[in-house]
Amino acid sequence: QMQLVESGGGLVQPGGSMRISCAGSGFILDYHAITWFRQAPGKEREGVLCISSSDTTTYYTDSVKGRFTISRVKSKNAVYLQMNSLKPEDTAVYYCATDLRDNICPVLASGVDMDYWGKGTLVTVSS
């Protein structure tokens, strides 16, 4: 069964760091672009950033540039989202998703073209 599973969320203080993971099963993540989305309480879902099959990164949210990075861990069939200098406004449920028909990152991360989604992991930034 093909699925994505996020892990690593939790509570972190403002200014802190956290790494969350997106693990794949039933297919090889390396062959596909993987996009991270997030949805804050009371807000619409937004694309955060994406890594293509050639490891090119695309940012969709200006507020995370310089603070968030995305990387692949081939040995674990996983994609990491490293989040530094976290702010309370980063509090959200973070989801990873992929469109199996494409190995490049979408121009617009609307999410409507994603085939598979994880169930999400909650990241709370609070003192």
Q: What is the pLDDT of residue 18?
A: 98
Q: Hey, what amino acid is at 96?
A: C
Residues with Cβ within 8 Å of 29's Cβ and at least 6 positions away in sequence, in order, are: 22, 72, 77, 78, 79, 98
Q: At residue 68, does pLDDT exceed 90?
A: yes
pLDDT tens-digit map of 7-54: 999 999 999 999 999 999 999 999 999 999 999 999 999 999 999 999
Q: What are phi and psi of 75, to 5 degrees?
A: -65, -20
